[in-house]
Each structure stands twice: as structure tokens, then as C-alpha cells.
Amino acid sequence: MRQGLINRPTDRSVGCAFLDSTSLFAARLAKTYPTPSRMRHRWGREFSEMVFETTRLLVRNLKGSDFEAFHEMQSDDEVMRYTTGKGLDASENRRQLNSCIAHYSIPENDFWVWAIVRKSDQQFIGTCAIVPNEKRPEIGYRFLGKFFGKGYGQEICDGLIQYGIYHRNLREIVAYADVRNVASTKILDRSRLSFVGETRNENGATDRFYRWAAAPLTVKTSGNNAINRSGGAGQL
């Protein structure tokens, strides 16, 4: 999603975005990608609390008891720098958390925002998401400021992409990052997504736009004519 919170005038304004960090030590891609054999997942009405895991992190459903840490994150002016420009109050953060949780029970829901916790101590450190943006699945995340600079951004970004491709069977994934947020653009530059170009966002700032799409399969017919069909995972 665009660098930061998707601030839409609906209940789809939620706490997830690319990391607002000034420094980041990226974990190696091969070590941080969650492999299919290690992922646990369910969607729709049977959605389980655990979504997927990476080397150091667990992604699970948000809960009401996450509010204190959720509010700490969302009320931090620095964390919200490239989104709303300033922290949000407790009332708005409570509304957003409740909205995220309510979406879990919606049949055929395509708007997923989850909690990120550390494996080592089960501490809530941020949120991540896969949400629709003009019918395209967009990834995003956000961390509490005290967890900046620990490589979690690269780890969760790579995990979301891997999860979307191999467990959601997504045919396309997009992401946006404010050009001023150098840490986030570096994360996306190192990810499986490809840089497409720059675009102006709704706040008048410039975003870098990234995209991954499954490569079409070419199917030969008896008449030696080729037909392109959406097929296995690939990168454009």
C-alpha cells in the first residue's frame, strides 16, 4: 500500500504500512522467506489465529488485547510521518483496530490486517496486511518506532510476498513507498517486486510503485497456435 496507512474515508482505513525507519539491516532473502512447509494458513470462516511465520516473526490475527501496543504505534508522529503526517488519537485507533478484527468474520473477505509478534517473547511489534487497491492485492506493514532498524521490515515484506504467491495463489501483488522514505524503498528494491515507476499519491507526494505478476503460460494447440493463459508464478 502507499507508504503508510491507507487513509480512506471508510472503515477500510487500517493500521498497516511500509516501515517508517531511518536505518535497516536487511536479513538475507534466503533465510527470511517463509517456506511453504513452515506456513500454516486458513482463510474465510475457518481462518486460524496463526497466519504465517518467518525466521524471527509470527503473523497472527489482531485481538482486542493488542490495543495498548497498537495505539502506541499509531499515535507516534514519527511512525505516521509518511501517512497521516501525525499520530492518531485513542478513539480513532480503537475504531481502526475493531474494524480490522471485524473483517475476519466477513465471508469472502479480501481485506486482511494482522498483528506481527516476535517469536522470542510473543511481543506485539507491528501490523501487516494484504488489502485490495483498485482490485489489486497490495501489501503493507508498520512497526512501533522502538523496533526500527532491526531488519524486521525486509523479513515481513518478503514473507508477505511469499505467502501471497504460494498460499493465497495471488496472480499480482503491488506496493507503494514514498520516495522520501529511503528505508522502505530499499526494502522494496531488494524484494521480489519490480520497480515500475513513480506516481503522485492522494496527498500530493511522490510514491515509488512496485509490482509482481505471475507469468502467463503459453499453451500450444493442435494448429500450432499459441494461447497465453495465466499460469505459474513468475515476475514481470
Beta bridge partners of 177: 208
For residue 4, being part of any structural domain is answered with no
* pTM of the predicted protein model: 0.75
For residue 15, being part of any structural domain is answered with no
Q: Residue 46: which CATH number?
A: 3.40.630.30
For residue 9, being part of any structural domain is answered with no
| pLDDT, tens digit, 9 for 90 and up, residues 126-172 | 999 999 998 899 999 999 999 999 999 999 999 999 999 999 999 99
For residue 73, being part of any structural domain is answered with yes
For residue 52, being part of any structural domain is answered with yes
For residue 8, being part of any structural domain is answered with no
| pLDDT, tens digit, 9 for 90 and up, residues 58-106 | 999 999 999 999 999 999 999 999 888 899 999 999 999 999 999 999 9
Residue of 106, 103, 212 whose CA lies nearest to 114: 103
Taking each helix axis as running N to C, give the angle between helix 152-166 and helix 182-190, from 0 to 180 degrees, rounded to the nearest 10.
40
**SS3 at position 139:** strand
pLDDT for residue 31: 35
Locate 203 and state its grid cell.
496527498
| pLDDT, tens digit, 9 for 90 and up, residues 172-188 | 999 999 999 999 999 99
Rg (CA), the chain: 18
Number of domains in the chain: 1
For residue 235, being part of any structural domain is answered with no
**Domain span at residue 215?**
29-230
pLDDT for residue 124: 98
pLDDT for residue 223: 56
Residue of 122, 148, 149, 5 whose CA lies nearest to 59: 122
Average pLDDT, the chain: 79
For residue 5, being part of any structural domain is answered with no
